[in-house]
Structure 1
Amino acid sequence: MKDNQSTTSPGRGRGRRRGYRGLSAEELRKQRHERLIAAGTELFGERGYAATPIEAVCTHAKVSTRHFYEQFEGRESILHAVHAALVDNMEQIVRTSLTESRTPLTQRVADTIESAVFYLLEDPRRGRILCIEAVGVSEIMEKKRRQTTHNLADIIERYASLMADNGVLPERDYHLPAIALVGMFNELIAEWLTEETGLSAMEMAREAKILFRAMIFGAQHYQPTDGSADPLDGEMPSE
């Protein structure tokens, strides 16, 4: 009597071999990667980067250290990946909010700043990783942080130029004001995370929007960055 062996010929279905729970090796690898990123976000954001060894990340993600090293070179490598994922999410929020065409441009920019700050504080782990834990880790990480600052400043600068085209702002180079604006928000987030401000995350986001509005109103007195006389050398403009 013949046993119940499959009659599938050798080679048929080759390349479609399924692994654990019917998932392919690539699907399993992707799942492990997602769990590691989630674990890194949670632990770096709660315990801190320096206090979180690789073994803790692996245990939390239910991933072996062997599988960890298949995807990351080490602890800083996964910090880079966690940082990049958070930045990508925030930049997507920024772009979506800025392209909401039903809202006037100035209000759109203000609302975008509020949304970005709220994203970082609604789940404080996000803000802690981007504005505290990633600071001073290494020269490579600092370059990534500077690049993030410039990427966000570039977005602000482009929309400041649009506001200038619409007569809301004077014509000038807005690169340095945009850099300063990103830096100001980083410090606001760090202050909220490390000190008792008495404000909720949403109130802090609104505070950031108020500061942006103050910059816009102040910018109406900006001078072109062409070496002309500094208005602060004379009397302050009257209200």
Structure 2
Amino acid sequence: MTDSARKHYASNRSRKRGYRGLSAEELRRQRHQRLIEAGTALFGERGYTATPIEAVCSQAKVSTRHFYEQFGGRESILHAVYDALIAEMEDIIRTSLTSGRHSLNLRVADTVESLVHYLLDDPRRGRIVCIEAVGVSEAMEKKRRATTHALADLIQRYATLMAESGDLPERDYRLPAVALVGMLNELVAEWLTEDTGLSAAGMAREAKIMFRAMIFGAQHYEATDHAHGEAVVQDKAS
């Protein structure tokens, strides 16, 4: 091999290997992860509107050139940060609902408690999901609605299983599931913005109590008649 060929071969290997023996793709993934972590920290601490792209890049130790290779702008990385947090919440839901030896009723209640813990143990998570992502743009609002429906779908699935096992009356639990997601969102926002007098653990227990009260109420009411397309309910305990 000629000297010229050796130099060309070495140059190509160096480009493929990248920095510190990492490939270009590995470096890109590392930069992406650092940017997500920086976005989570800054959006959760300073707020979305108070955090310029340069601040995210500085904290992530990533150049603005590399930032724009992966994200279209500040809202683009907010979407990515939000998606990462929601993915972790969905993992919590699936794990909590399928583990343990409790009844399904108790597992669902424990899942509600675990979700609130996740959002409040590190308040940056709760602030991004329940406050900073609100009202940013039409695209972000569509994402938030889609997230509400996705989480509600998971809850509805297990509410249906509870109905099949006799823990709940037979009915469509779509709207109650959406209401439960909304309740969690507002409880977290209230804790983050007001003095509730509760610790994060206390608020998580409060959410669990509220959910169990909803279940208890549902167990004591059932549809008995239909008038003008609306269900009429009667208190079975009366």
Give the TM-score, by structure 2 length.
Answer: 0.91
Task: Give 1:65 shift.
Answer: 0.4
* Aligned partner of residue 137 in structure 1, secondary structure: coil
Partner residue, 2:223: 223
Contact 1:169 1:219 in 2 (8 A): yes
Partner residue, 1:214: 213
Task: Give 1:153 shift.
Answer: 0.4
The aligned runs of 1:69-84 (5 Å cut-off) are: 69-84=68-83
Q: 1:103 to 1:129 in 2, by over 3 A?
A: same
* Aligned equivalents of 1:87, 1:228: Cα separation in 2: 34
* Aligned partner of residue 84 in structure 1, secondary structure: helix
Task: Give 1:238 shift.
Answer: 3.9
Partner residue, 2:124: 125
Contact 1:33 1:71 in 2 (8 A): yes
Number of equivalenced pairs: 232
The aligned runs of 1:188-207 (5 Å cut-off) are: 188-207=187-206
Gap runs ≥5 in structure 2: none
Q: 1:31 to 1:116 in 2, by over 3 A?
A: same
Gap runs ≥5 in structure 1: none
Q: 1:228 to 1:7 in 2, by over 3 A?
A: closer
Deviates most, 17-26 or 158-167: 17-26
Deviates most, 30-39 or 6-15: 6-15
Contact 1:127 1:189 in 2 (8 A): yes
Q: 1:230 to 1:53 in 2, by over 3 A?
A: same
Return the letter of the residue paired with 2:232: D
Say if 2:71 is the partner of 1:58.
Answer: no
Q: 1:67 to 1:229 in 2, by over 3 A?
A: closer
Contact 1:171 1:224 in 2 (8 A): no
| Structure possessing the higher relative contact order (Cα contacts under 8 Å, 6 or more residues apart) | 1
Q: 1:193 to 1:154 in 2, by over 3 A?
A: same
Give per-residue Cα distances to partners, 1:117-163, cap 9 Å, x unaligned.
10000000000000000000000000100011001100110111000
Give per-residue Cα distances to partners, 1:173-199, cap 9 Å, x unaligned.
000000001001100000000001111
Task: Give 1:222 shift.
Answer: 3.3
The aligned runs of 1:91-170 (5 Å cut-off) are: 91-100=90-99, 102-170=101-169
Deviates most, 215-224 or 114-123: 215-224
From the two aligned structures, give the one with the greater strand fraction.
Answer: 2
Partner residue, 2:47: 48
Give per-residue Cα distances to partners, 1:73-118, cap 9 Å, x unaligned.
0000000000000000110011011011522110000001110110
* Aligned equivalents of 2:223, 2:74: Cα separation in 1: 47
* Aligned partner of residue 30 in structure 2, secondary structure: helix
Return the letter of the residue paired with 1:200: S
* Aligned partner of residue 102 in structure 2, secondary structure: coil
From the two aligned structures, give the one with the greater helix fraction.
Answer: 2
Task: Give 1:15 shift.
Answer: 6.5
Task: Give 1:203 shift.
Answer: 1.0
Q: 1:225 to 1:14 in 2, by over 3 A?
A: farther
Task: Give 1:228 shift.
Answer: 6.0
Partner residue, 1:187: 186
Give the TM-score, by structure 1 length.
Answer: 0.90
Return the letter of the residue paired with 1:119: Y
* Aligned equivalents of 2:20, 2:11: Cα separation in 1: 17
* Aligned equivalents of 1:85, 1:96: Cα separation in 2: 17
Contact 1:173 1:224 in 2 (8 A): no
* Aligned partner of residue 223 in structure 1, secondary structure: strand
Task: Give 1:31 shift.
Answer: 0.6
